[in-house]
């Protein structure tokens, strides 16, 4: 028997803003294939002090944020 589509996880590039500094960074997170479920999952799994600004399905270049390597 095949699993539910909600059980399939795919990579998302998640762009987050630091609540204290306003610095923007990104990381890749695996989340449900369903977009609504992925948005909920990513929001719950975001590190404390970070606000999810956007998410894009797939692997994309990572933004390290400031301060960080230039």
Q: Which two tokens stand for residue 33?
A: 């294939």
> Is residue 70 predicted with pLDDT exceeding 60?
no
Neighbours of 53 (CB within 10 A): 12
- List the chain domain ranges: 5-57
Question: What are the E-state strand segments in 2-69?
Answer: 9-18, 24-32, 50-57
Handedness of CA 3, 59, 27, 24 (dihedral sign): negative
List pLDDT tens digits, range 16-36: 999 998 888 889 999 999 999
Give me the pLDDT at residue 2, please.
47
Q: Tokens at residue 13, please?
A: 């590039």
CA angle 63, 65, 70 (to 5 degrees): 85
């Amino acid at each position: 028997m095949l699993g539910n589509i909600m059980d399939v996880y795919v990579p998302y590039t998640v762009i987050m803003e630091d609540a204290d500094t306003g610095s923007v960074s990104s990381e890749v997170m695996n989340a449900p294939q369903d977009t609504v479920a992925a948005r909920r999952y990513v929001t719950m799994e975001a590190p404390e002090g970070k606000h999810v600004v956007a998410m894009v399905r797939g692997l994309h270049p990572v933004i390290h944020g400031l301060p960080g390597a230039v």
